[in-house]
Structure 1
Amino acid sequence: MPLDPQIKPILERIRALSIAASPQELRRQVEEQSRLLTAAVQEPIAETRDVHIPVSGGSIRARVYFPKKAAGLPAVLYYHGGGFVFGSIETHDHICRRLSRLSDSVVVSVDYRLAPEYKFPTAVEDAYAALKWVADRADELGVDPDRIAVAGDSAGGNLAAVVSILDRNSGEKLVKKQVLIYPVVNMTGVPTASLVEFGVAETTSLPIELMVWFGRQYLKRPEEAYDFKASPLLADLGGLPPALVVTAEYDPLRDEGELYAYKMKASGSRAVAVRFAGMVHGFVSFYPFVDAGREALDLAAASIRSGLQPS
């Protein structure tokens, strides 16, 4: 279908970010834009708590969202998007508040370390350390360690997928559900139809040159793209927790996200891919102004809630 009229003015804002001269300037622009989003919406929840999670070489911040004062709630680790270069717990505060409220879960938003200051696989290691931290402190957080999900958008979707694979490989199987919102799952540069069609289109919010730039910031060497921890599409996808994969019609990453869901199913795992017509990469962040963004986030919350029902 045609580009949704609600996303057209948003698209101009998103495309303006791609001309940033440096990672630091890009981060400044995104943080400034996110303040406008946060001011545009109110998502009441019981409490938020900022914490520090120990990781190799130091600690990272996280923000914990409590939808109500109760024990034994499910937990969701949320990894923000931003090409592994920008984004923070602040830029995704409005998303995590709504996700916590609607999924009735304690959401832990993880401020993993960013490239180029911290190259691959630092973000992966931070993301996995956060999972272990939540599981180890379930009593302290008031969550059920047997009901943990991971979720993320774009680069954060990559981290959620990789954490699920690492968790399966460890044999612990802490993760019971994954929600991947227009995830990056293949950094090798092998083209798909959607990448060819929308990577250079005027309607794209994620031009190919920006994706290439993100890869150069994140990876130390091009061959690292073939590591499953960078490109989870290359991993064995059997025995993984059920996944909801959200894609956007005009997104260069659309086909690789849908292929990921298909490969999961072909490997014996459960997965559902839902494509949002007329939408571009990043549309969920703009849910205060875009109906489809709100619908996608509400779907994610419903999927988490149903996927983490008490046994």
Structure 2
Amino acid sequence: MGYMKTTYDYFDLNAPFTPLPRYGHLSKNSPEYKQVEPSIRKTYEVLFSLPDFPSVRAVAGDADAVMPPGGPDRYKSVVTELIDIPTRDGIMIELKLYKSPDAKNNAVLMYRMHGGGWCLGRHEVDGVDNVYAATNTGIIVIYGRVANGSRAPEHPFPTPINDCYDGLIWCKKNADKLGVDPEKIIISGGSAGGQLVNPPLYFTYGQQSDNLAGSFARSRLRQRRHSPLLSESFKGLPPTLIQCGGTDVLRDDSFAYADALKKDGVDVELHCYAGLPHWFPVVLPQTSQSVHFYERYNNFLARYAGK
């Protein structure tokens, strides 16, 4: 059983802080965020007052994500299916498939890992992103890393990474059943899922997954599983889209990762939305920035998967 902490052990949230010059201008709260920030904070206070992670997961539930204004009708544009698959440790995990009723045969597989700080999260935590992707008839989405209990703290690192990789390999081996091309794969993730995007690439060392990545030295494998920024090389990685909020605690990591990719010749597209928080398209779906977020997301997918 994992229990929620009532205080932070390592830092003071109210400590004085002066933004640094390079990206500090991005961290001033936007008017839209200022308006809703108190209610967001109150929601988190309620969740963090619960005694343990199972309680938080129960409150969060797994209702279908609500599409933003102007978004597609998820119940007409997309069909879904739950799929149980085995993992290396014998635990069955549940994947969720999203696809258009008119999906093309041999579609591009978009394999997505969900967020939730490696301990929370559910199928629909990124439901909006999955629906948008699946409305592209050239893409079939498989949403991974939703295991029956294989989240931290009950199942600590590297279980989430192992589950992600096992799910990806299962998709490749069952490509005909899924209707996807096993050699055309987009790997995607948000929040904690964004960190989980890279280990499946690096895990291909010694595996028959040449379309995903090349070989990397095993001596550095554990380090890069903790953070992709610890990798010795990024050469040969596929084109990458990174989007983040300007007040997001992960903002500077996004810039650092983009810089590391560019240095090794990877095609990178980075967009930072000033004054907006972590997960802003969900908490502020009606802002123009959230509209731009999904426009860029859809355009990126269309560029590499067609329409």
TM-score by length of 2: 0.75
Report Cα offsets for 1:125-173 as digits up to 9, x if no partner.
Answer: 1111111111111111111222110111010000112222323674623
Distance in 1 between residues matched to 2:195 and 2:117, nearest whole Å = 10
Report Cα offsets for 1:256-295 as digits up to 9, x if no partner.
Answer: 1111011011123222211112211111333643432232
Partner of 2:271: 274
Partner of 1:50: 82
1:72 Cα deviation from its structure 2 partner: 1.7
Q: 2:226 aligns with which of 221, 230, 238?
A: 230
Report Cα offsets for 1:87-134 as digits up to 9, x if no partner.
Answer: 110333233112221474101111143111111000001111111111
Partner of 1:305: 302
Partner of 1:38: 66
Q: 1:143 aligns with which of 180, 196, 221?
A: 180
Distance in 2 between residues matched to 1:64 and 1:85, nearest whole Å = 22
* CA gap 1:99/1:309 in 2 versus in 1, 3 angstroms: closer
* CA gap 1:13/1:269 in 2 versus in 1, 3 angstroms: same
- Residue 238 (structure 2) pairs with residue 241 (structure 1): yes
Instruction: Give 5+ residue unaligned stretches, structure 2.
Output: 1-25, 214-221
Partner of 2:140: 106
**Retained in 2: the 8 A contact 1:76–1:151?**
yes
Tell me the amino acid that sits aligned with residue 277 of structure 2: V
Instruction: Give 5+ residue unaligned stretches, structure 1.
Output: 177-225
Distance in 2 between residues matched to 1:13 and 1:24, nearest whole Å = 23
Distance in 1 between residues matched to 2:138 and 2:33, nearest whole Å = 29
Distance in 2 between residues matched to 1:103 and 1:296, nearest whole Å = 20
3-state SS in 2 of match to 1:38: coil
Report Cα offsets for 1:238-266 as digits up to 9, x if no partner.
Answer: 22111111121111110111110110111
- Residue 63 (structure 2) pairs with residue 26 (structure 1): no
Q: How many residues align?
A: 261
Tell me the amino acid that sits aligned with residue 44 of structure 2: L
* CA gap 1:51/1:36 in 2 versus in 1, 3 angstroms: closer
Equivalent positions of 1:1-311 (< 5 A) are 2-15=28-41, 16-17=43-44, 19-21=48-50, 22-31=52-61, 35=63, 37-38=65-66, 42-43=73-74, 44-56=76-88, 57-69=90-102, 70-102=104-136, 104-110=138-144, 111-112=146-147, 113-167=150-204, 170=207, 172-175=209-212, 227-235=223-231, 236-286=233-283, 288-309=285-306
**Retained in 2: the 8 A contact 1:237–1:267?**
yes
* CA gap 1:132/1:287 in 2 versus in 1, 3 angstroms: farther
Greater C-alpha radius of gyration: 2
Distance in 2 between residues matched to 1:165 and 1:3, nearest whole Å = 36
Report Cα offsets for 1:209-254 as digits up to 9, x if no partner.
Answer: xxxxxxxxxxxxxxxxx72111111013222111111121111110
3-state SS in 1 of match to 2:95: strand
Distance in 1 between residues matched to 2:167 and 2:246, nearest whole Å = 32
- Identity among equivalent positions (%) equals 25
3-state SS in 2 of match to 1:129: helix
Distance in 2 between residues matched to 1:161 and 1:298, nearest whole Å = 24
